[in-house]
A and B are shown apart, each in its own frame.
Chain A
Amino acid sequence: MSNADPLGKRLQLAGILLIIGLVVEAFCLLSAKPIAFIIFVAVGGLLIFSGVTLYLFSLISLSAIPD
């Protein structure tokens, strides 16, 4: 799969979003303060949701392409 492959690019983007979201979650877990929970949900949650959605969207769009 070359870098020009749209699926590969989407998977990489989804992965990067997930990594950032998970890193945010990891940092938020270190703090037991209310603001950490807000950042976890608002930033980390949004990034994880975006990454997962992009991955699922990639699967759907791939299956829509005729062989």
Chain B
Amino acid sequence: MRLEPPMFAAKLSILPATTLTAILVLVTVALVAVVVVRPGMVKTPGGKILAFIVLFLLPVLCGAMGVSTDMERSTTTAFCLSCHTMESWGQSLHIDDPNHIPAAHFQNHRVPPETACYTCHTDYAMFGTLKVKIGGLRHVYVYYFGTPPAPENIKLYQQFNNDNCLHCHLGARSFEEGATHTADPATMIAIKSNKLSCLSSGCHDVIHDIAHLKEAKFWKESN
């Protein structure tokens, strides 16, 4: 079966926050250019205030807004799948199989589809986002300066943390009263303490399954 390319490329659109930041950057460039062309204007009190705004406040604001915009944008599914290596992982979200955990979550909007990767692959702790970003820098380094592994050989650095599942499922009836979860009291304790992985063999173990992507049947999203 021919695999369709992921449908995320069209969603790589410029966000309104990006437009706002871009306008601010361009205005700042124009104002800085005025100071560069006429540095004598900073001799007057008004010129000194203008120079402070133009050469300090506005550039700092532009930088902060740029970082904020990019950080927000880096949480999107389109951003994660913009690297060629991740295309197969994006395709796996369209596998037509309810037992396929990431695909079922993505297709049924159990996670926001536009931030699907980030929602499941972020540690929900104080420095979780920062840890994920540092991991992302490592990905970029390997992608451009190393030898990226084949998509089917990409592995997590650490075992998938149950907190990522429990962030949503903890307290939910289907989880708390699930027959397998409650069959043995020790099981629930082991799950909640991350000693027994949700993705363990025999449990929710059908994950991205990149190795068998070619045999998979795909769901066609209707727009």
Contact B22 A26 (CB under 8 A): yes
- Measured CB to CB, the closest approach of chain A to B105, in angstroms, equals 23
- Interface mask (B118-137 → A, CB under 8 Å = 1, otherwise 0): 00000000000000000011
Contact A34 B66 (CB under 8 A): no
Contact B25 A8 (CB under 8 A): no
- Interface mask (A17-39 → B, CB under 8 Å = 1, otherwise 0): 01101110110111011111110
Interface residues of A (CB under 8 A from B): 1, 5, 7-9, 11-12, 14-16, 18-19, 21-23, 25-26, 28-30, 32-38, 40-41, 44-45, 48-49, 51-52, 55-56
- Interface mask (B59-76 → A, CB under 8 Å = 1, otherwise 0): 110110011011001101
A11-B39, A55-B55 known; A29 and B69 CB under 8 Å? yes
Contact B66 A51 (CB under 8 A): no
Q: Main secondary structure on chain B at its contact with chain A? A: helix
Please give, as numbers and ranges, the residues of chain B lying within 8 Å of A21 by CB-CB distance.
59
Contact A32 B33 (CB under 8 A): no
Contact B55 A28 (CB under 8 A): no
Contact B136 A28 (CB under 8 A): no
Q: B7 an interface residue at 8 Å Cβ cutoff?
A: no
Q: Main secondary structure on chain A at its contact with chain B? A: helix
Cα-based distance from A39 to B156 in the complex (angstroms): 26
Closest A residue, CB atoms, query B12 = A32
Please give, as numbers and ranges, the residues of chain A lying within 8 Å of B116 by CB-CB distance.
none
Please give, as numbers and ranges, the residues of chain A lying within 8 Å of B107 by CB-CB distance.
none
- Measured CB to CB, the closest approach of chain A to B205, in angstroms, equals 30
Please give, as numbers and ranges, the residues of chain A lying within 8 Å of B76 by CB-CB distance.
32
Contact B82 A16 (CB under 8 A): no
Interface residues of B in 62-121 (CB under 8 A from A): 62-63, 66-67, 69-70, 73-74, 76, 78-79, 82-83
Please give, as numbers and ranges, the residues of chain A lying within 8 Å of B62 by CB-CB distance.
22, 25, 48
Cα-based distance from A9 to B71 in the complex (angstroms): 35
A22-B25, A25-B63 known; A12 and B36 CB under 8 Å? yes
Please give, as numbers and ranges, the residues of chain A lying within 8 Å of B51 by CB-CB distance.
11, 55
